[in-house]
Amino acid sequence: MPDKKDLHNEIVSVLEAQKQTGGRRKIYKEVSDQHRGELLAADLERKIAGLRETIRRDRVNWGNLEQVQSRCLEYLQRCQEAKCLPTVGGLSVFALGYTRQRLNAYMRENPDTPTTQFLMQIKDLLADTLETGALNRNLDAVMAIFTMKNDHDRADRVQLEPVVSEPLGTTPDQRALEERIAGSVVIDD
């Protein structure tokens, strides 16, 4: 067991190192910055491989619910294996072979089909993944909010309540109004 003097010297050296490097935050930032390029390269590598596979196979047939389900589940499993977040854009391109805009257009134009109902469930599942990640502080909350608003039909709610009282009364008295105004106007001499 170190004596008090050794412990004191160790604490002082740690504090001095933190002063020189800007504290723990800067140390963490420097380490994470070193790996940022590696993480980006790995992400792009997965996306390029997924795009190559998308090019090799046909787009999904919207009318074939089993095919849509199979491709969506396959996409989710691949995201799980890669330990990456599933996204609407990724689902659209890698699972279905369409753009995000085309997926949304199909769902708008065919709201009552079994395929659209299933895709709505998948989009809700993706939104739930984002929401859970943000609530558990595993995801950036600002980015999660942005994505929820843009890809998952979420929006801030503003509640407007109508004014039901009539500040002047149901039948305003002209004389009373004139007295009120005359009493509240300040005249500077």
For residue range 54-101, list pLDDT tens digits in order: 999 999 999 999 999 999 999 999 999 988 899 999 999 999 999 999
Q: Which helix (H) or strand (E) holds 49?
A: helix 23-56
Extract the tokens encoding 165: 């009282």
**CA 58 – CA 63 distance, rounded (Å):** 14
- pLDDT-derived band at 174 (thresholds 50, 70, 90) equals confident
- Output the furthest CA–CA distance in the chain (Å, rounded): 92
Name residue 129's amino acid.
Answer: T
Over 60: is that where the pLDDT of 25 sits?
no
**CA 45 – CA 51 distance, rounded (Å):** 10
**Closest of 42, 115, 128 to residue 72, by C-alpha:** 115
Residue 74, Cα to own-chain centre: how many angstroms? 23
Looking at residue 164, what is its pLDDT? 66
Most confident of 9-23, 36-50, 62-76, 127-141: 62-76
Half-sphere exposure of 142 (CA within 13 A, CB side): 0
Q: Helix, strand, or coil here: 143?
A: helix
Regarding pTM above 0.85, the answer is no
